[in-house]
């Protein structure tokens, strides 16, 4: 993978998008034979001995011993949307929305909901398809392009710390022992222009994950998002360890012992434009557009929770008519 400074390779996408988010085509191009929605996995927490998982407020009210015993009994697991719907007595369908799958009353928190059986379900991560699931999907993507070794990945420019710039780098590393005061001091240390004490201080460039050349380079400008582009063969994403080879990988965390990390691309497409994968940063699912055969293969793969979508589908929060 390498930086792609010719952003015109993505201009075809812009020409096939609608303005706004009225339908999924604010971010997903028109003109493909078929579409599929891949649901990002959620998580569920239960107690080893059974019973209702306590809320955050209930945990805070516990004594230290009771808190420790309770936390030690937590069991966290990945869960599908279908299993979540079964727990709440709702229906999974192509236009399902998480807040309604988990029966969220108006004004309440849809990110963490208790099912009737006492388990706590937490919402999927938006804009991020886990590497293992992307790898499963990529097996099918690679099989439905004539250019599996040539393609493009687009990474949204707005991820914190990705790009360098004049001002704060947006990156602060804190340890488990940092308190609020030290965190605040770290944030102040990141500031390179103090308008009160140094009103005439010259602005200083702060590096991000990507080089200054890339940070100041061209972007693929789309109606809703701008992206940094990288030449990236689709077959690379069939490896769950693709993060280790991504040019936008963040090595700064690794010095503290964390595993390699990189933001999930918002866009991936092959050179022959046979399909496109779109992981919009505000979507809790990924949309794939391509041939009918590709979409059928994705939806038939039991390792991937996916359903077919019609062109023009609405994926907004109020699109779920069945689970009102």
pLDDT tens by residue, 137-193:
999 999 999 999 999 999 999 888 888 887 655 454 444 444 444 444 444 444 434
Give the residue from 204, 221, 255 where a domain finishes.
204
pTM: 0.85
Q: Give a yes or no: residue 324 inside a domain.
A: no
* pLDDT, tens digit (0-9, with 9 covering 90-100), for 210-222: 888 988 899 999 9
Number of domains in the chain: 3
Distance separating alpha carbons of residues 12 and 8, to the nearest angstrom: 8
- Beta-strand (E) ranges in the chain? 2-3, 34-39, 42-47, 74-79, 112-114, 120-122, 151-156, 165-166, 205-206, 220-221, 226-231, 267-270, 276-278, 285-290, 306-309
Are 285 and 80 contacting, i.e. CB atoms less than 8 angstroms apart?
Answer: no
- Looking at the structure, do residues 241 and 288 belong to the same domain, yes or no? yes
Query: Is the predicted pLDDT of residue 90 greater than 90, yes or no?
Result: yes
- Looking at the structure, do residues 48 and 92 belong to the same domain, yes or no? yes
Distance separating alpha carbons of residues 79 and 257, to the nearest angstrom: 28
Highest mean pLDDT among 64-68, 183-187, 303-307: 303-307
- Looking at the structure, do residues 159 and 253 belong to the same domain, yes or no? yes
- Looking at the structure, do residues 257 and 224 belong to the same domain, yes or no? yes
- Looking at the structure, do residues 112 and 221 belong to the same domain, yes or no? no
What average pLDDT does this structure show over 281-303? 96
- Looking at the structure, do residues 84 and 232 belong to the same domain, yes or no? no
- Looking at the structure, do residues 132 and 256 belong to the same domain, yes or no? yes
Closest CA to 236 of 104, 148, 112: 148
- Looking at the structure, do residues 48 and 32 belong to the same domain, yes or no? no
Distance separating alpha carbons of residues 243 and 32, to the nearest angstrom: 28
Give the residue from 64, 88, 122 where a domain finishes.
122
Q: Concatenate the DSSP letters of all residues of 152-190 into one string.
A: EEEEETTSTTSS-EES--S-----TT--HHHHHHHHHHH
Q: Give a yes or no: residue 315 inside a domain.
A: no
Q: Give a yes or no: residue 25 inside a domain.
A: yes
Give the residue from 96, 122, 148 where a domain finishes.
122
Enclosing domain of residue 83: 42-122
């Amino acid at each position: 993978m390498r930086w792609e400074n010719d952003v015109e390779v993505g201009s075809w996408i812009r020409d096939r998008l609608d303005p706004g988010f009225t339908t999924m085509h604010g971010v997903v191009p028109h003109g493909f034979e078929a579409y599929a929605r891949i649901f990002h996995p959620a998580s569920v927490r239960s107690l080893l001995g059974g019973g209702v998982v306590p809320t955050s407020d209930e945990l805070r009210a516990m004594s230290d011993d009771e808190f420790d015993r309770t936390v030690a009994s937590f069991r966290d697991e990945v869960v599908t949307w279908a299993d979540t719907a079964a727990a709440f007595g709702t229906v999974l369908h192509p236009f399902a929305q998480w807040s309604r799958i988990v029966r969220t009353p108006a004004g309440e928190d849809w990110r963490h909901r208790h099912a009737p059986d006492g388990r706590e379900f937490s919402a999927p991560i938006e804009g991020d398809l886990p590497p293992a699931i992307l790898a499963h999907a990529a097996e099918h993507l690679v099989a439905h392009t004539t250019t599996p070794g040539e393609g493009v990945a687009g990474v949204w420019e707005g991820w914190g710390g990705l790009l360098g710039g004049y001002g704060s780098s947006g990156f602060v590393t804190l340890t488990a022992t940092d308190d609020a005061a030290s965190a605040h001091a770290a944030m102040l240390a990141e500031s390179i222009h103090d308008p009160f004490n140094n009103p005439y201080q010259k602005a200083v460039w702060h590096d991000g994950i990507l080089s200054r050349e890339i940070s100041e380079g061209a972007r693929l400008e789309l109606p809703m998002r701008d992206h940094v582009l990288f030449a990236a063969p689709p077959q690379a994403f069939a490896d769950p360890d693709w993060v280790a080879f991504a040019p936008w990988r963040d090595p700064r965390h690794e010095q503290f012992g964390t595993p390699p990390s990189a933001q999930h691309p918002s866009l991936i497409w092959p050179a022959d434009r046979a399909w496109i994968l779109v992981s919009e940063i505000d979507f809790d699912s990924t949309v794939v557009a391509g041939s009918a055969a590709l979409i059928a293969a994705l939806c038939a793969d039991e390792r991937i929770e996916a359903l077919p979508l019609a062109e023009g589908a609405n994926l907004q929060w109020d699109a779920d008519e069945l689970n009102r």
